[in-house]
Amino acid sequence: IIICKLYKPKNLAGAASNEACLFTNPEEELFVGESELCIDYDVSAETSLDASSTNWTEGVEMTPWRRIVVFKADKLEPLIRGIRDAFPHSAQATPAPGAAAAAAAAPMM
């Protein structure tokens, strides 16, 4: 399960379409494609997003939403590979799984 931050155009906020959604983290869109279940919910009442700040959306008024994405555990590894392939620059900055734990366990000399 992951929770994604996304924005929908205010005039399409109730629509179920992904076409008009802007994900805060674009890699999360890959999880949606492999999901078993997605649940969207409006969080505009709980956020302090200034409705007039539309510079990043070219004047389109956006509403903040969250999406709960449920996917099977056996899809995690292929999803991680897909994200690394789709976003190679961010993958270079990310240590390999277990590298941080191995570095922390290594004896200091």
What is the amino acid identity at position 15? A
pLDDT for res 41: 92
CB 40 within 8 A of CB 60: no
Average pLDDT over residues 6-15: 75
Write out the two tokens for 5. Answer: 């931050």
Average pLDDT over residues 4-31: 80
Question: pTM score, two decimals?
Answer: 0.66
Judged by average pLDDT, the poorest of 11-15, 35-39, 80-84, 105-109 is: 105-109
Angstrom CA distances, 53 to 19, 24, 45, 70, 75, stand at: 22, 15, 16, 31, 37
pLDDT surpasses 80 at 78: yes
What is the amino acid identity at position 20? A
